[in-house]
Structure 1
Amino acid sequence: MSYRKSIEIPGVTHGTTPIPQGAKLGRMVFSSGIAGIDPRTGTIPDDPAEQVRLVFQHVRTFMEEAGGSPEHIGRMTVYIKNEEVRDLVNEEWVKMFPDPSSRPARHSPIADLRRGALVQAEIIAVLPE
Structure 2
Amino acid sequence: MGDLLVTGAIHGGGRGSAPADFPPGMAEQARVMFDRVAALLEAEGGSLDDVAKFSIRIAEPAHRKELNEQWCSLFPDPSSRPARQVTVGTTQPHILVQCEVLAVLTVDGDRDA
Give the TM-score taking structure 2 as reference length: 0.84
In proportion to residue count, which structure has more helix?
Answer: 2
* Aligned residue number for residue 32 of structure 1: 8
Separation (CA, whole Å) in 1 of partners of 2:14 and 2:70: 17
* Aligned residue number for residue 88 of structure 1: 66
Q: Deviations over 1:7-30 (max 9, x none)?
A: xxxxxxxxxxxxxxxxxx110001
* Aligned residue number for residue 102 of structure 1: 80
Separation (CA, whole Å) in 1 of partners of 2:52 and 2:84: 9
Separation (CA, whole Å) in 1 of partners of 2:21 and 2:50: 28
Unaligned residue ranges in structure 2 (runs of 5+): 108-113
Unaligned residue ranges in structure 1 (runs of 5+): 1-24
RMSD (Å) for aligned C-alpha atoms: 1.7
Q: Is the 8 A contact 1:44 1:115 kept in 2?
A: no
> Could you list the runs of 4 or more consecutive aligned residues of structure 1 that deviate by over 6 angstroms after TM superposition?
none
Q: Is the 8 A contact 2:59 2:89 kept in 1?
A: yes
Q: Deviations over 1:53-106 (max 9, x none)?
A: 111111111111121000000010110111111011111111111111101110
Give the TM-score taking structure 1 as reference length: 0.75
Q: Tell me if 1:76 matches 2:54.
A: yes
